[in-house]
Each structure stands twice: as C-alpha cells, then as structure tokens.
Amino acid sequence: MSRPVPNPGILDIAPYTPGKTPVPEPGRKVFKLSANETPFGPSPKAIEAFKNVATHLEDYPEGTSRVLREAIGRSFGLDPNRIICGAGSDEILNLLAHTYLSQGDEAISTTHGFLVYPIATMAVGAKNVIAQETNLTCDVDAILKAVTPKTKLVWLANPNNPTGTYVPFDEVKRLRAGLPSHVLLVLDAAYCDYVSRNDYEMGIELVATTENTVVTHTFSKIHGLAALRIGWMFGPEHIIDAVNRIRGPFNVSTPAMYAAVAAIEDTAHQAMSKQFTETWRNWLTEEIGKLGLKVTPGVANFVLIHFPEKGTTSDAADAYLTKRGLVLRALKNYGLPHSLRMTIGTEEANRLVVDGLRDFLAGK
C-alpha cells in the first residue's frame, strides 16, 4: 500500500536532538549555560509592556508588526518599509530559503555554521554546500571557491555560533563583491550587540547599498526575549516584498511586538549587559586558559572551550560539570566533538565553572 512520502531532502535532515535534561547532585543550583540566553532577563520595561497587552488577548495582532518596525527603524536609522519581523529570526531564515531556493539549487554555509542553515536549505530540497573555515573562522576565499552555477544563497553568521569568531566588515564586502549578483547573501547578526571591534559592522551599509544582501537580527540574545520568538530582517525592497508574500499574516504576536519595542528602547539595559559580557568573557578566557585548556577568542556572549582528544575528554568534563548543576553545550552535531560551548552567565555561575573545571582537571 502506498503512503504519503516527504519531499526530497526532508529525510536527509538529521533529526533535532534536544539538549539533555540536567540532573545535578541533590542540593545543587542549576545554571543553564547551554543556549546563549542572557543571565539578566529582559528589560523590566519589556516585561511591563508584555503584561499590559494581556488584557486583549482575543484580538489578532497588527499583521505587519508596524510599531516594532518603526521602533527598529528609529533605533538603527532604517526605513521601516524595508524591515520584516518574524517569529524568531529562525522563521525569517526559513522564509528566505522558501523564497529563494528550490530543488537542485545550492546554498553555502561554513564548517561550523549555525545548524538552522542546513535545515532551512534541505527543507526546500536544495543542497547544503560546506565551505571550510580557517582557525574556526569563516574563510571568504573558501566560500568564493565553493560557488557553482547552482549557488543561490550564502549563509553567514557574523559573529558565528558556536565558534564565537567574526569576519571584519572589509572581508564581508569582499565576499559580496566576489559573489555573482544573483546570489543572496544572508548576514545573521544575532550576536552583533556584543561586539566592540573597530573593524566589525553588522552589515547595514552593505544592505542599504546593494540589491542582493539582507541582515537578520534577533530579540533572543541581548534583549532576553527568546521565549517570545521575535526577530527581524532589513533588506532591499524587492526582497522584503517577496518574503512578505509567503509570511504568515499574523506571524508575530502582540505581546512579542510590544515587549520588543520596550526592549530596543532600553539602551541602558543593553549597555549594562554588553559591558558585563565583555568583562566576564575576558575573565573566563584567561582563567580557563590558565587551567591549560584552549579557548577560542570570541566576541559574542559565549566561550568555546577545547579539550584534549584523549584522556581528559569533553564528554567527561560535561558530565562532571552537569553533576554540579553547570549545563554547557556539547557540540558533536556541530562537528566539534572535543569542545564545549559555555554561555557567559552570572558572576556566580562563571566562577563555579572555572572552579569545576579546575577540580575536574585535578581529578577530584
């Protein structure tokens, strides 16, 4: 008997394996440092805005996220008509794949790129092409070499997750200049708010001056609104128009919209979080380095810790820290089987991780 068959490519997607449920020893407080969430939560003003709309949950949202597009426009100096909002930037990445890729097309991402990219690519039957990184960093020449006549799209998280490394803006411009003009370049700036480097930009200038580049951003990281699922994209008018045609008419909820408006306007909350993250990223990099473990120098809100391939393995370290209530992210499905990613947490959490790693390495 015949039965429904998924479209080509769907069953090639590795099924999503959820993070393990941490079971620490009795009496240990649990610190979730595995999903790059902020230890501060959202701005109190965002929580207040969220509560204020709870009195009208019977009404459909305004379908174009107008108040939020205007707030983003004010905050970044952008035309709100060139912004689209989504249920997380994940939704927007998938909408881009649906709009610009089909069976037989190729999309390029890098060795340790964000896992949503291959899923979005393969979900529409396109081929996921991997460009090799150099020193866990995107290599523009490798991407350009991977281009074929079938290439339609390039995914680039800058800074990247899970490596935490970034590409200087000059290199991003060189990538754009080297790609054929019909190839869409997607710059995913989920972590841009944490970067303070003179040679970094999220890419707004490039989007504003080309017809084939978009930048996506999220409220899940520095704004602390991951639970509400809200992200946005800035792009050329013709791309916004095309994506709007397949977007769900009410894809962003009213509470998400208003909480995000309050969050983006609370610049003090963002500045505090950025400063804290930088201080503790430096501290963690140095202290973990002193223990003899390699840490990739990152610019986002997490650190990437490398373990030897034999002996003191990352699996054992992960299990040891988990018992102490410290939940980091193992990266096997990112092709980094000997590394753990640690989201920068509260001062208490950060100190406990360093103490935990020290005890682990001492065989305690």
Residue 284, classed as helix, strand or coil, is helix
Give the one residue of 42, 203, 231, 356 binding ligand PLP; rule: CB under 6 A: 231
Please state, in angstroms and rounded to a whole number, the distance separating the CA atoms of residues 214 and 240. Answer: 9
Q: Which residues pair with 339 in a beta bridge?
A: 306
Which residue type is seen at 8? P
| Nearer Cβ to ligand PLP (270/325) | 270
CB 312 within 8 A of CB 360: yes
CB 190 within 8 A of CB 221: yes
Helix H, strand E, coil C: the string for 197-232 is: CCCCCCCHHHHHHCCCEEEEEECCCCCCCHHHCCEE
The footprint of ligand PLP on this chain (CB under 6 A) covers a number of residues equal to 14
Residue 18, classed as helix, strand or coil, is coil
Please state, in angstroms and rounded to a whole number, the distance separating the CA atoms of residues 41 and 30. Answer: 16
- Provide the minimum distance between the beta carbon of 220 and ligand PLP in the complex, in angstroms, as a whole number: 3
| Nearer Cβ to ligand PLP (157/284) | 157
| Window 66-95: residues binding ligand PLP (CB under 6 A) | 88-90
Residue 282, classed as helix, strand or coil, is helix
Interface with ligand PLP, residue 36, by CB under 6 A: yes
In the bound state, the residue with its beta carbon closest to ligand PLP is 88
Binding window for ligand PLP (CB under 6 A); candidates: 52-60, 178-186, 216-224, 351-359: 216-224
Interface with ligand PLP, residue 220, by CB under 6 A: yes
Binding window for ligand PLP (CB under 6 A); candidates: 48-56, 197-205, 206-214, 219-227: 219-227
Q: How far is CA 206 from CA 12, 19, 37, 66, 321, in A?
A: 34, 36, 28, 24, 43
| Nearer Cβ to ligand PLP (156/179) | 156
| Nearer Cβ to ligand PLP (88/325) | 88
| Nearer Cβ to ligand PLP (85/352) | 85
Give the one residue of 114, 258, 280, 360 binding ligand PLP; rule: CB under 6 A: 114
Q: How far is CA 104 from CA 7, 101, 130, 159, 346, in A?
A: 13, 9, 16, 29, 46
Give the contact letters, 115-154, x = binds to ligand PLP (CB under 6 A), - = no: ----------------------------------------
Give the one residue of 106, 133, 139, 188 binding ligand PLP; rule: CB under 6 A: 188
Give the contact letters, 153-172, x = binds to ligand PLP (CB under 6 A), - = no: ----x---x-----------
Number of other residues whose CB lies within 10 A of the CB of residue 357: 25
- Provide the minimum distance between the beta carbon of 216 and ligand PLP in the complex, in angstroms, as a whole number: 7
What residues line the site for ligand PLP (CB under 6 A)? 36, 88-90, 114, 157, 161, 188, 190, 218, 220-221, 226, 231
